[in-house]
């Protein structure tokens, strides 16, 4: 395709260091790291030489299980230089899930930090790989994970049997000549798989999405171009690195455009406010719930956010009120909405910075310049007319190579012509703007009527007491399914089911009015901020089993 650039990740960071050597590259307030692009490039090269010394070859799979710490970013670009495939591990995972990912991905190396919140990663790894107790750094052999050869520890623990310290790996790399690293960078191909992400599991079993240099570099390029990113911008990164929002739309976006990454180790509304004000950030990425938490923080008015200009809201629908507050109170006049999925590396459509607010809350924008997309009938896969609902499909050089070791699932997702079937329902208008109306799997069929949860959710957001709402279908003997609304009320508010039913009457069709109402404090979420509706279905189906 015409606009696509032909660069590997190693070439992208080398170019950024060459063009903007003294521009701030990485600011990490929690750890005190503050690198310009020359220093950042030098650090990534040191880590890359450490990886070569560790034995990482082109195409080897390397899992990284940490929060948003500086080492994660070094590894992202260092692995890009040596051709190792970065396997991103969700920070919410426990032992069963970690073992599944390491095994399914055929990872040869695991990088791990001490702990996050109440989960001790170090101890979990020791449980999953008990052989660490007797292994030395050179001869790890795991019965359950025969391909795992090294575990590298990032942190300050005094003794780590069977593992190697991150600093020690970097030190070993000092013996690798620069020429060897440069030859490795030159030997790589833009179509090599470089990143493997496990789909966040809103619908169940995680699949390893194989993304290439070409996929992620070009998606980051287009996303940043829409945001107007340059070497003068500073982006607050508070979304997790292990997700495309973090490592494509945020870190890769910044490095491609020479912008500054201002990184929070994990989301915290007060730290976000402090970092934006202290570093004069011009952009901020997040899911809508993050923006809501920042806007509603009691200390919000104490921080100067006037430096903000743009940012991306993605991962979930954005309520109108939130969009308006982000533009007015956070000064993000040019905030945009992005839509896509990991399988398309990830962004497919975006609103534009000068789009009217109406388009930014009612649509997910139009296609990126080098991306194709259309709406098809989910049953026949034939194109449907403008304004008619169907499945959103996309085709471009950003579409994944496939799911790792899952040829059937890959063939189901991508047809022979290269169209990726997203599983999202939507429609397109005459100006090419897409609306997402739900997930095919979320659709509720009540007595033969198709009900789309998104439509009911958008309506209920208008209730003055409601801050968040999720609508699901639960099994019903008579109708097949019934509608349930789980409501999160604004602080200090109280409401009853009767009151909400009255609010719906005469405004939405009777069969769409939820039969069941649940008032909740929170929703089960993936670590990337998406609500896990399948978990809600399990919980409430059991409660209302008829």
Residues 6+ apart with CB under 8 A from 305: 273, 276, 277, 329, 330, 331
pLDDT of residue 546: 55
Laid out side by side, the sheet with 372-376 consists of 372-376, 390-395, 420-428, 434-439
Read out DSSP for 198-212? E---SSSS--EEEEE
Q: Tell me the whole-structure pTM to 2 decimals.
A: 0.87
Q: Do domains 10-16+31-212 and 449-543 have the same CATH topology?
A: no
What six digits make up the tokens of 413? 């997702």
Segment 420-459, tens digit of pLDDT: 999 999 999 999 999 998 778 888 888 777 787 888 998 8
Q: Does domain 449-543 have CATH number 3.30.300.30?
A: yes
Burial class from Cβ neighbours inside 10 Å (0-12, 13-18, 19+) for residue 94 reads exposed
What six digits make up the tokens of 103? 């095994």
Segment 280-320, tens digit of pLDDT: 999 999 988 899 999 999 999 999 999 999 999 998 778 88
- 249: number of Cβ within 10 Å: 29
- Helices H / strands E in the chain, number of each: 18, 26
Virtual CA dihedral for 429, 432, 437, 442, nearest 10 degrees?
130
Q: How far is the C-alpha of 5 from the C-alpha of 305, rounded, in Å?
A: 34
Contact 484, 542 (CB under 8 A): no
**Beta-strand runs (E) in 341-433:** 347-350, 366-367, 372-376, 390-395, 402-403, 420-428
Longest dimension (CA), the chain: 75
Domain spans, the chain:
10-16+31-212, 449-543
What six digits make up the tokens of 140? 């790890």
Contact 176, 52 (CB under 8 A): yes
Q: How far is the C-alpha of 476 from the C-alpha of 484, rounded, in Å?
A: 11
Read out DSSP for 124-139? HHHHH-GGGGT--TT-
What six digits make up the tokens of 208? 């390893």
pLDDT of residue 514: 96
Q: How far is the C-alpha of 208 from the C-alpha of 198, rounded, in Å?
A: 4
Taking alpha carbons only, the member of 359, 374, 277 closest to residue 318 is 359
Instruction: Profile the chain (546 residues) by mean pLDDT over runs of 10 residues.
Output: 86 98 98 98 98 98 98 98 96 87 97 93 96 85 96 95 96 98 98 91 72 98 98 97 96 98 98 98 94 96 98 85 95 96 97 94 94 94 96 97 95 96 95 90 80 86 94 88 95 95 88 94 82 90 84
Contact 13, 255 (CB under 8 A): yes
What six digits make up the tokens of 446? 């009540």
Laid out side by side, the sheet with 516-519 consists of 466-476, 480-489, 516-519
What six digits make up the tokens of 215? 């996929």
Q: How far is the C-alpha of 462 from the C-alpha of 292, rounded, in Å?
A: 15
Taking all residues of the chain, what is their mean pLDDT, rounded to a whole number? Answer: 94
> Given CA atoms 129, 135, 138, 139 in this order, what sign does their dihedral have?
negative
Q: How far is the C-alpha of 172 from the C-alpha of 166, rounded, in Å?
A: 10
In sequence order, the β-bridge partners of residue 314 are none
CATH architecture for the domain at 10-16+31-212:
3-Layer(aba) Sandwich (3.40)
């Amino acid at each position: 395709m015409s606009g696509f650039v032909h660069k590997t990740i190693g070439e992208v960071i080398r170019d950024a260091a060459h063009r903007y050597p003294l521009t701030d590259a990485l600011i990490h307030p929690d750890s005190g790291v503050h690198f310009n692009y020359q220093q950042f490039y030098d650090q990534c090269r040191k880590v890359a030489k450490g990886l070569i010394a560790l034995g990482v070859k082109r195409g080897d799979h390397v899992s990284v299980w940490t929060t948003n710490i500086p080492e994660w970013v070094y590894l992202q670009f260092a692995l890009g230089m040596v051709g190792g495939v970065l396997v991103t591990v969700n920070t919410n995972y426990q032992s069963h899930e970690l073992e599944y990912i390491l095994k399914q991905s055929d990872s040869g190396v695991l990088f791990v930090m001490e702990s996050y919140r109440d989960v001790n990663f170090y101890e979990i790894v020791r449980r999953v790989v008990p052989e660490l107790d007797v292994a030395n750094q050179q001869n790890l052999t795991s019965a359950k994970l025969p391909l795992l050869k090294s575990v590298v520890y990032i942190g300050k623990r005094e003794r780590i049997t069977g593992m190697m310290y991150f600093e020690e790996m970097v030190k070993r790399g000092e013996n690798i000549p620069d020429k060897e690293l440069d030859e490795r960078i030159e030997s790589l191909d833009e179509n090599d798989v470089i990143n493997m992400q496990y789909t966040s599991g809103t619908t169940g079993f995680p699949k390893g999405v194989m993304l290439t240099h070409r996929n992620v570099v070009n998606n980051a390029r287009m996303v940043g171009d829409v945001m107007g990113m340059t070497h003068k911008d500073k982006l607050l990164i508070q979304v997790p690195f292990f997700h495309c929002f973090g490592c494509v739309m945020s870190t890769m976006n910044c490095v491609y455009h020479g912008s500054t990454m201002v990184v929070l180790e994990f989301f915290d509304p007060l730290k976000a406010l402090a970092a934006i004000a202290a570093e004069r950030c011009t952009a901020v990425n997040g899911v809508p719930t993050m923006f809501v938490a920042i806007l509603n923080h009691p200390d919000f008015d104490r921080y100067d956010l006037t430096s903000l200009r743009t940012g991306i809201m993605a991962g979930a629908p954005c309520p109108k009120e939130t969009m308006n507050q982000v533009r007015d109170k956070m000064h993000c006049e040019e905030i945009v909405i992005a839509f896509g999925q990991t399988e398309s590396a990830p962004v497919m459509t975006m609103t534009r910075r000068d789009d009217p607010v109406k388009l930014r809350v009612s649509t997910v924008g139009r296609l990126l310049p080098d991306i194709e997309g259309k709406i098809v009938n989910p049953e026949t896969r034939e194109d449907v007319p403008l304004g008619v609902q169907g499945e959103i499909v996309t085709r471009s050089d950003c579409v994944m190579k496939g799911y790792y070791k899952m040829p059937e699932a890959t063939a189901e997702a991508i047809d022979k012509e290269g169209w990726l079937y997203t599983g999202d329902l939507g429609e397109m208008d005459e100006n090419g703007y897409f609306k997402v109306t739900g997930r095919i799997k979320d659709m509720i069929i009540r007595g033969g009527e198709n009900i789309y949860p998104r439509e009911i959710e958008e309506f209920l957001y208008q209730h003055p007491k409601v801050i968040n709402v999720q609508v699901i279908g639960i099994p019903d003997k008579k109708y097949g399914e019934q509608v349930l609304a789980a409501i999160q009320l604004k602080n200090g508010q109280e409401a009853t089911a009767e009151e909400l039913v009255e609010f719906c009457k005469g405004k939405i069709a009777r069969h769409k009015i939820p039969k069941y109402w649940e008032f909740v404090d929170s929703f089960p979420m993936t670590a990337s901020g998406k609500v896990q509706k399948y978990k809600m279905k399990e919980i409430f189906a059991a409660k209302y089993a008829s």
